[in-house]
């Protein structure tokens, strides 16, 4: 036997001796895992393709934040259907009353549909962003800039002077600077002269913040008259949708009260029913009662904010806002009286991009003076 053959025989023998039972079991386990992975690979690819196709058909599913909001909206609608559906399935008396008095059930179902529609309308309404207000302001004043530029060009042509390319470039830059700084000057005029708050700039949006504006980290934008970010709605509550939010709370509270009355009427009825029906109704009634307490407190709280022209952020973070921290607790700088506040909130047709001016020191001092009998007679609070 040659030396090469002897070497191959020795290597094969050493490999056969080194394959212990433990190594054989490890190899078997490895082959089994590879087989499982190979079988699962087509399933994984099919799942990824289905997920990608769903993301293309429904874009909100590709974003985790929007997906969570969509799930919460779906859960809210399902809860409404469950509470009302169980009531109609178990309460025979309600079904008989529907046949005798269809208008009663029609009004109840109309309130249910109106509440859900109001929920989606509020969720889709813009709260009023600072960036949109800046664009609207610049577009409004763009016509004035074009008119002034046209008048300058006509005047120069009448004088017989020609505009060189460099002069035109400088003129274009000056118009751009005016357009950019017009918003800054507009916001600064909303603050009293000499106020440090005139120079407040958002570190995230790099925009000068008008009074009552705040950056929302969930929406990643500055919101005009920021109140709070509602997780259930998936949007901020601000100047543009605060009124719709209050009406949604009012409709939801009314629906909960009416549904609770129907549940209690069902429990008081002496009709023959199973014990599990009472258990289901009592459980749903407890959940409904807790929801009603929360909604009622929230409705009363926002009604107080409307009467005093405040926001949740201004009330909770008053000591952190530079132009509010030095004011007395009972002074509401943006309040114009109860009647005017109600009118501005419910009936005013001002733009959602309108900015509210911060009162001067003299106006705040006059509002801080205590009430006397003549103030009550003259309806100073109104």
Q: Looking at the structure, do residues 139 and 232 belong to the same domain, yes or no?
A: no
pLDDT at 61: 53
The pLDDT-based confidence of 159 (bands split at 50, 70, 90) is low
Q: Looking at the structure, do residues 247 and 302 belong to the same domain, yes or no?
A: yes
Q: Dump pLDDT digits (tens) for 161-194.
A: 444 444 444 444 455 455 556 888 888 888 888 7
Q: Looking at the structure, do residues 230 and 330 belong to the same domain, yes or no?
A: yes
Q: Looking at the structure, do residues 116 and 229 belong to the same domain, yes or no?
A: yes
Structure tokens at 346: 């419910």
Residue 366 placed within a domain: no
Q: Looking at the structure, do residues 279 and 211 belong to the same domain, yes or no?
A: no
pLDDT at 43: 59
Count other C-beta atoms under 10 Å from residue 108's C-beta: 17
Instruction: List the Cα angle 335/332/366 in 5-degree steps.
Output: 85
> What SS3 state is found at 357?
coil
Residues 323-347 as b or e (16 or more Cβ within 10 Å = b): bbeeeeeeebbbbeeeeebbebeee
> In terms of pLDDT, which residue wins out, 40 or 271?
271
How far is Cα 79 from Cα 100, in angstroms, rounded to an integer?
28
Residue 368 placed within a domain: no
Q: Looking at the structure, do residues 326 and 309 belong to the same domain, yes or no?
A: yes
Residue 380 placed within a domain: no
How far is Cα 167 from Cα 144, in angstroms, rounded to an integer?
20
- Give every CB contact of residue 311 below 8 A, 6+ residues apart in sequence: 212, 225, 226, 227, 228, 305
Q: Looking at the structure, do residues 182 and 238 belong to the same domain, yes or no?
A: no
Residue 111 placed within a domain: yes
Q: Percentage of the chain surpassing pLDDT 70? A: 69
How far is Cα 244 from Cα 261, in angstroms, rounded to an integer?
26
Residues 244-274 as b or e (16 or more Cβ within 10 Å = b): bbbbbbbbbbebbeebbebbeebeeeeeeee
Residue 48 domain boundaries: 21-57
Please determine, for residue 4, whether its predicted confidence score (pLDDT) is greater than 90: no
The residue to which tokens 């949007």 are assigned: 235
The residue to which tokens 């499982």 are assigned: 36
Q: Looking at the structure, do residues 141 and 104 belong to the same domain, yes or no?
A: no
User: Does residue 230 have an active-site annotation?
Assistant: yes
pLDDT at 46: 64
In sequence order, the β-bridge partners of residue 236 are 229
Region 121-127 average pLDDT: 95
Please determine, for residue 215, whether its predicted confidence score (pLDDT) is greater than 60: yes
Please determine, for residue 227, whether its predicted confidence score (pLDDT) is greater than 50: yes
The pLDDT-based confidence of 157 (bands split at 50, 70, 90) is low
* Of 38-42, 123-127, 316-320, 367-371, minimum mean pLDDT range: 38-42
How far is Cα 213 from Cα 133, in angstroms, rounded to an integer?
11
pLDDT at 286: 96
Show the DSSP H helices in 58-91 as ranges: 64-90
Structure tokens at 185: 């000057």
Residue 11 placed within a domain: no
Q: Dump pLDDT digits (tens) for 68-121.
A: 888 999 999 999 999 999 989 988 888 888 888 889 999 999 999 999 999 999
Q: Dump pLDDT digits (tens) for 28-51.
A: 665 655 565 555 566 566 666 665
> Among 108-117, 151-160, 193-202, 329-338, which range has the highest average pLDDT?
108-117
Identify the active-site residue in 230, 256, 339, 381. Answer: 230
- Number of domains present in the structure of the chain: 3
> Among 91-95, 241-245, 321-325, 366-370, which range has the highest average pLDDT?
241-245
pLDDT at 164: 46
Average pLDDT value for the chain: 80
Please determine, for residue 344, whether its predicted confidence score (pLDDT) is greater than 50: yes
pLDDT at 42: 65
Q: Looking at the structure, do residues 310 and 198 belong to the same domain, yes or no?
A: no
Q: Looking at the structure, do residues 257 and 120 belong to the same domain, yes or no?
A: yes
Residue 317 placed within a domain: yes
Residue 94 placed within a domain: yes
Region 53-68 average pLDDT: 62
Nearest CA among 80, 135, 376, 16 for reference residue 251: 80
Q: Looking at the structure, do residues 252 and 271 belong to the same domain, yes or no?
A: yes
Please determine, for residue 321, whether its predicted confidence score (pLDDT) is greater than 80: yes
Q: Looking at the structure, do residues 145 and 207 belong to the same domain, yes or no?
A: yes
Residue 280 placed within a domain: yes
Q: Percentage of the chain surpassing pLDDT 90? A: 40
Please determine, for residue 377, whether its predicted confidence score (pLDDT) is greater than 50: yes
């Amino acid at each position: 036997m040659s030396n090469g053959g002897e070497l191959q025989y020795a290597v094969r023998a050493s490999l056969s001796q080194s394959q212990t039972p433990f190594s054989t079991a490890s190899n078997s386990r490895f082959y089994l895992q590879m087989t499982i992975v190979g079988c699962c690979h087509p399933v994984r690819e099919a799942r990824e393709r289905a997920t990608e196709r769903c993301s293309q058909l429904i874009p909100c599913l590709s974003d985790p934040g929007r997906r969570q909001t969509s799930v919460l909206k779906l859960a809210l609608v399902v809860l409404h259907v469950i509470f009302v559906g169980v009531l109609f399935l178990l309460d025979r008396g309600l079904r008989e009353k529907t046949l005798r008095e269809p208008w009663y059930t029609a009004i109840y179902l109309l309130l249910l549909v109106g509440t859900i529609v109001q929920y989606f309308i509020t969720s889709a309404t813009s709260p009023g962003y600072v960036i949109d207000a800046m664009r609207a302001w610049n577009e409004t004043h763009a016509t004035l800039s074009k008119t002034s530029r046209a008048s300058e060009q006509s005047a120069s042509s009448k004088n017989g002077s020609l505009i060189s390319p460099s002069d035109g470039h400088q003129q274009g830059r000056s118009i751009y600077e005016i357009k950019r700084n017009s918003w800054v000057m507009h916001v600064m005029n909303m603050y009293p002269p000499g106020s440090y708050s005139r120079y407040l700039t958002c570190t995230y949006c790099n925009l000068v913040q008008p009074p009552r504006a705040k950056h929302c980290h969930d929406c990643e934008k500055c919101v005009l008259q920021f109140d709070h970010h509602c997780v259930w709605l998936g949007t901020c509550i601000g100047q543009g949708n605060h009124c719709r939010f209050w009406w949604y709370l009012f409709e939801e509270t009314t629906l909960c009260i009416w549904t609770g009355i129907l549940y209690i009427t069902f429990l008081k009825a002496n009709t023959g029913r199973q014990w599990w029906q009472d258990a289901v109704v009592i459980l749903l009634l407890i959940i409904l009662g807790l929801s009603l307490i929360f909604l009622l407190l929230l409705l009363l709280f926002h009604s107080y904010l409307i009467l005093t022209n405040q926001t949740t952020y201004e009330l909770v973070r008053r000591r952190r806002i530079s132009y509010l921290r030095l004011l007395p607790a009972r002074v509401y700088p943006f309040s114009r009286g109860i009647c005017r506040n109600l009118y501005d909130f419910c009936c005013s047709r001002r733009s959602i991009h309108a900015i509210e001016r911060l009162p001067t020191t003299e106006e705040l001092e006059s509002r801080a003076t205590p009430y006397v009998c003549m103030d009550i007679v003259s309806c100073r609070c109104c």
